[in-house]
């Protein structure tokens, strides 16, 4: 009986405890990284929509802006962004005519900041709801 090979119960419990500690350290960092990636994607998408609005106004719109549906129909944005939901953010393009505004608000645990832009092409950010009074991104 003394020549049995394998791990004892104590050794296995120590290994499981070490794996649990490593997981407890890694999982929160992973979730924060996902939020940061979603926020970066939202900023990029807002920039894409601003560019699409300016392009629409200069070409198809005869100096006027449109909403998200108009951008989608004109082929200025793809269907992933045109649906209004992408990477944990909800995008709303409001207004038509001489001005427009874009809001990107987190859905669920998609992120913590909201983003806003308009015809000035300045992307603004706020925690808990973006709006025209929000500071420009990076301030």
Please report the pLDDT score of residue 5 as a whole number: 79
Q: Domain total for the chain?
A: 1
The pLDDT mean for the chain works out to 85
Please report the pLDDT score of residue 53 as a whole number: 92
Please report the pLDDT score of residue 126 as a whole number: 84
Give the range of the structural domain holding residue 113, as residue numbers without chain letter.
9-127
Task: Tell me if 75 is assigned to some domain.
Answer: yes
For 57-116, the pLDDT digits (tens) are 999 888 899 989 889 999 999 898 888 899 889 999 987 789 999 999 999 888 889 999
pLDDT at 128 over 70: no
Three state DSSP letters for the chain: CCCCCCCCHHHHHHHHHHHHHHHHHHHHHHHHHHHHHHHHHHHHHHHHHHHHHHHHHHCCCCCCECCHHHHHHCCCCCHHHHCCEECCEEEEEECCECCCEEEEEECCCCCCEEEEEECCCCCEEEECCCCCCCCECCC
The share of the chain scoring above pLDDT 90, in percent, equals: 42
Please report the pLDDT score of residue 58 as a whole number: 92
Please report the pLDDT score of residue 7 as a whole number: 81
Task: Tell me if 2 is assigned to some domain.
Answer: no
Please report the pLDDT score of residue 17 as a whole number: 93
Task: Tell me if 132 is assigned to some domain.
Answer: no
Task: Tell me if 134 is assigned to some domain.
Answer: no
Task: Tell me if 1 is assigned to some domain.
Answer: no
Task: Tell me if 44 is assigned to some domain.
Answer: yes
pLDDT at 44 over 60: yes
pLDDT at 139 over 50: no
Task: Tell me if 109 is assigned to some domain.
Answer: yes
Task: Tell me if 135 is assigned to some domain.
Answer: no
């Amino acid at each position: 009986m003394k020549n049995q090979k394998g791990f004892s119960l104590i050794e296995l419990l120590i290994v499981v405890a070490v794996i649990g500690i490593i997981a407890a350290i890694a999982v929160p960092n992973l979730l924060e990284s996902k939020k940061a990636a979603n926020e970066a994607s939202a900023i990029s998408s807002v920039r894409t929509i601003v560019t699409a609005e300016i392009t629409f106004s200069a070409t198809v719109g005869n100096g006027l802006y449109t909403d998200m549906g108009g951008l989608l129909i004109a082929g200025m944005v793809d269907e992933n962004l045109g649906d209004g939901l992408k990477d944990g953010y909800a995008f709303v393009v409001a207004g038509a005519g001489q001005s427009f505004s874009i809001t990107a608000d987190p859905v669920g645990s998609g992120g913590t900041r909201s983003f806003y832009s308009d015809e000035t092409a300045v992307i603004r950010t706020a925690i808990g709801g973006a709006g025209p009074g929000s500071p420009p991104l990076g301030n």
